[in-house]
Amino acid sequence: MPDAVIPPNRLLFRALAGTFVPESASLDEAGWAEAEAIVERFLGTRPPAVRRQLALLLRVLDLLPLLRWGRRFGALDAARRLRFLEAMQRAPVLLVRRGVWGVRTLAFMGYYARPGAAAAIGYRADPRGWEARR
């Protein structure tokens, strides 16, 4: 896929998603592949400039922790990852705050849009609406 975002940032995306959605730690390789494919399919509908901006944001989120802890995001422990992302969600730069919330949304989409997650949380929506439940 041209301008793919997730494959070159796979480990970072998984670290971010694991911080936003702790339940994702239970995913096996097939589950992660499914979640990443969901996100990548969605990103494929976005303009190339948006995909490039997201890839740049991911690189920035990976490198910024070097300034405080001397480690990239993926090398931080869970508590520091959470502290870092909470700080980024309150950053004075609006674009950074929006970007972090966007990455959070993508992590939720990838995890919860999987059929396995819907079953795990008891989500039983049906195109027929409430009639299907009767």
pLDDT tier, 44 (very low <50, low <70, confident <90, very high otherwise): very high
Q: Is the pLDDT of residue 134 over 70?
A: no
Domain boundaries, given as residue ranges, for the chain: 7-133
| Pairwise CA distance, residues 75 & 68, whole Å | 13
Three-state SS annotation for 14-47: HHHHHHHCHHHHHCCHHHHHHHHHHHHHHHCCCC
Radius of gyration, CA atoms only, the chain: 16
Q: Is the pLDDT of residue 2 over 70?
A: no
If one compares 45 and 131, the residue with the highest pLDDT of the two is 45
For residue 72, the model assigns a pLDDT of 97
| Pairwise CA distance, residues 16 & 21, whole Å | 8
Q: How many CB atoms lie within 10 A of CB 83?
A: 15
Q: What is the mean pLDDT of residues 95-111?
A: 96
Write the pLDDT tens digit of every residue in 67-84: 999 999 999 999 999 999
- Helix, strand or coil for residue 29? helix
Q: Which one-letter DSSP state was computed for residue 130?
A: G
